[in-house]
Structure 1
Amino acid sequence: MQLRKTMFVGLLSVTLLSGCSWFSGEEDVVTMSPLPKVDNQFQPTTVWSRSVGSGSGEFYSNLHPAWQDDRVFAADRRGVVKALDADSGKEIWSTNLSIHTGFFSRNRPAQLSGGVAAAGSRVYMGSELAKVYALDAQDGSVAWETTVAGEALSTPVLSDGVVLIHTSNGILQALNEADGAVKWTVNFDVPPLTLRGESSPTTAFGAAIVGGDNGRVSAVMINQGQLIWQQRISQPSGATEIARINDVQTTPVVVNGVVYALAYNGNLAALDLSSGQVMWSREIGSVTNLLVDGGRIYLVDQNDRVIAVDTQGGVILWRQSELLHRNLTSPVLYNGYIVTGDSEGYLHWINTDDGRFVAQQKVDSAGLLAAPIVAGDKLIVQAKNGEVYAITR
């Protein structure tokens, strides 16, 4: 049963990403919008590029780089992890985690899946083989590896001396930062059919806030794993199992005591951090992370509209609808602009005031799946083929 679910969910992810329906009939086919024509107000420049293994290939993967102390850390699905100089792209060290999997052959791919995280003196990542790794940030040596409760599809989060990981079977675990030992485990309900991927927790005031496959947002005490509150922001609805999917797959954002969370086939909601009480909600669904800045929420909905929402009451300020079904990445804020990538390998730069395009750049024909990251004055982008790019205005 588990195998059937895994295959079905994996297929569903591919279907959602490709923009095509399973069902017959022309009316069910979703067409990617043509590339909008943009008169660039400035020309984004590629400063350097560097290959990091073979990327994610045809697999759905949330692998994305991390940045800390003028170093960019990036990985591929097979297990190659590299530290690159942020200014030049020069390789500082390279580690191959495939020899550490311990399954059948020392050369079996590690199947890295969660995004790379860098904190303190270490770099963290998870795998589909239920492993979490901690590497030394200076030389790439393996500090520890731990077997967790399921596929580690979320990005590890370091807080209060523990590494938080949310696994594919709905389990949140805290690992000791020093040696990777499991400190506590919280099990959330998981419905029969879910999207592939899990919400990475965010932390605030000693609590981990995480979305679940059951349409709920939960707050857990980091020091002991005790549940503080749960709040449903999405109710299953629709005639089919697919229509009833309501995962909170995105990472919640906490600003000024308010939790902003977003569900697939559900709602964008603002919750009180201390109680979980719903302050307001709007019928907007997504699987990509949102960002909050200057009293506004910026997000990409499940049809790939880029939307700006007021944080006070959830009023929609503008929509950019010329990128429908181009399989956009989560948006980031860089140099005052919203930047998002698409599956054809383009970066789109959008004005935060009115949603108009200000620039467009072809990065890599392999396509972009993971969100760009901001590294000081640079934007770091990893294409599906493993090529990493540093871009400036």
Structure 2
Amino acid sequence: MQLRKTLLVGLVSVALLSGCSLFGGEEDVVTMSPLPKVENQFTPNKVWSTSVGNGIGEYYSHLRPAYQDNTVYAADRYGVVKALDLTDGKEKWKVDLSEKKSFFASNQSALLSGGLTVSGSNVYIGSERAVVFALNTQDGNVAWQTKVAGEAISRPVVADGMVLIHTTNGQLQALNEADGAIKWTVNLDTPTLSLRGESAPAVAFGAAVVGGDNGRVSAVLMQQGQLIWQQRVSQPSGATEIDRLNDIDTTPVIVDNVVYALGYNGNLTALDLRSGQIIWKRDMGSVNDFIVDAGRIYVVDQTDRIVASNAEGGAKVWEQNDLLHRNLTPPVLYNGYLVVGDSQGYLHWVNTTDGRFVAQQQVDSSGFLSAPIVAGDKLLIQARGGKVYAFTR
């Protein structure tokens, strides 16, 4: 039986925040760091905010907006998808993907979960009901929908005429971008116990590179659906079941023929794209997507440390420890700063040179889980309650 992340996050929260040990006999209390005092060097300007349905509530879901051609696409878990004008947040269209059971019964939630991806004339989104939708960007009409091998909770990735989906039962599937037909399926294997989350693939030179729940990174030829290589970067170890989880739920990053990968209890690892051979690795774990930019790697780790490392060998440049256990979002680079949200609804702006705070603001009491995104000159983030915010520097 798989321990998927919705359950695990709840269990870990109980274990860490209330002091109850679930897998051992000891009590181990971990306390959320108090909000650090920051003297703002500037005040980010909120341009607009608008509600998109009911958000994700208390569920573990990385639904987040997508952006293309001055339009923002956002969704809630229930099934509402909206297109918003990037300039002012006004609604362009709205659709509801929840299933209508009967005239008298309430609609059944679509359980949208896989994040939004926009490419060409379609916006793509997956669901916990193992359905992937393609919606027309002009009016939101369903261009196609396809039943896939399992829950589609990772972000769809579009490349080479295909939509790639990594399902919770360890299947990497390629759907035809035009009609949603399944072209191939690769079984990446899943262990008995794993986190609820799947790595979205990274694509380069006709190959899809993806992390697995078995602690391996796999490279697959996209046109044939053929496995090229696999490399283990996370090895199960430790005294408890949680200690031995070795999922790679983060999306690999490919820069200059080097694959950077990061496991939950594993390592930050650099691999050769062609062979999969390990170039270097450093002890660090996370489920948060990370950034590789200008020779630096920026990671929010398991304990919510923000760490900057050198991309050449993984040596640590700086770390910011004042937000420990505040359940940070993955980071984003915006206007020269690193920005993260936290579970109490604050945005934290960090200097990329030395890791010091440069600004902080409380935005939404429902808190943040999904990563901020950059859309044109704006920073966008969606709160748990469903509200989307747009900021400028």
TM-score (structure 1 length as normaliser): 0.96
Hey, what's the Cα distance between the residues in 2 that align with 1:58 and 1:339?
23
User: What RMSD, in angstroms, separates the aligned Cα atoms of the two structures?
Assistant: 1.7
Q: Displacement of 1:266 after TM fit? A: 0.7
Deviates more, 1:91-100 or 1:307-316: 91-100
Contact 1:17 1:327 in 2 (8 A): no
Q: Displacement of 1:271 after TM fit? A: 0.4
Deviates more, 1:26-35 or 1:52-61: 26-35
Q: Displacement of 1:27 after TM fit? A: 4.5
SS, match of residue 99 in structure 2? helix
Hey, what's the Cα distance between the residues in 2 that align with 1:229 and 1:100?
44
C-alpha spacing 1:17/1:163, structure 2 compared with 1 (3 Å): farther
Q: Displacement of 1:14 after TM fit? A: 2.2
Contact 2:237 2:244 in 1 (8 A): yes
Q: Which runs of 5+ in 1 are unaligned?
A: none
C-alpha spacing 1:222/1:42, structure 2 compared with 1 (3 Å): same
Q: Displacement of 1:10 after TM fit? A: 2.7
Q: Displacement of 1:9 after TM fit? A: 4.5
SS, match of residue 98 in structure 1? coil
Counterpart of 1:208?
Answer: 208
Q: Could you tell me which amino acid in structure 2 is paired with residue 380 of structure 1?
A: L
Q: Aligned match of 2:7 in 11, 17, 21? A: 11
Hey, what's the Cα distance between the residues in 1 that align with 2:10 and 2:376?
33
1:259 aligns with 2:255: no
Q: Displacement of 1:141 after TM fit? A: 0.4
1:273-292 deviation per Cα after TM superposition (whole angstroms, max 9, x unaligned): 11111000000000000101
1:242-282 deviation per Cα after TM superposition (whole angstroms, max 9, x unaligned): 11001000000000110000000110000001111100000
SS, match of residue 13 in structure 1? helix
Q: Which runs of 5+ in 2 are unaligned?
A: none
Hey, what's the Cα distance between the residues in 2 that align with 1:253 and 1:289?
9
Hey, what's the Cα distance between the residues in 1 that align with 2:6 and 2:75?
21
SS, match of residue 265 in structure 1? coil
Counterpart of 2:313?
Answer: 313
Q: Aligned match of 1:23 in 9, 21, 24? A: 21
Hey, what's the Cα distance between the residues in 2 that align with 1:141 and 1:311?
43
Hey, what's the Cα distance between the residues in 1 that align with 2:33 and 2:101?
41
Counterpart of 2:99?
Answer: 99
Q: Displacement of 1:45 after TM fit? A: 1.1
Hey, what's the Cα distance between the residues in 2 that align with 1:250 and 1:57?
22
Counterpart of 1:303?
Answer: 303
Q: Percent identity among equivalent residues? A: 66
SS, match of residue 145 in structure 1? strand
Q: Could you tell me which amino acid in structure 2 is paired with residue 211 of structure 1?
A: G
The 5-angstrom pairing of residues 83-122 of structure 1 reads 83-99=83-99, 107-122=107-122
Contact 1:98 1:106 in 2 (8 A): no
Counterpart of 1:73?
Answer: 73
Hey, what's the Cα distance between the residues in 1 that align with 2:68 and 2:365?
28
SS, match of residue 98 in structure 2? helix
Hey, what's the Cα distance between the residues in 1 that align with 2:101 and 2:207?
32
Hey, what's the Cα distance between the residues in 2 that align with 1:154 and 1:304?
21
Hey, what's the Cα distance between the residues in 1 that align with 2:82 and 2:10?
28
The 5-angstrom pairing of residues 344-359 of structure 1 reads 344-359=344-359
The 5-angstrom pairing of residues 1-393 of structure 1 reads 1=1, 5=2, 9-16=5-12, 19-20=16-17, 22-23=20-21, 27-99=27-99, 107-393=107-393
Q: Could you tell me which amino acid in structure 2 is paired with residue 294 of structure 1?
A: A
SS, match of residue 219 in structure 2? strand
1:270-322 deviation per Cα after TM superposition (whole angstroms, max 9, x unaligned): 00011111000000000000101110000101000000000111100000000
Deviates more, 1:355-364 or 1:91-100: 91-100
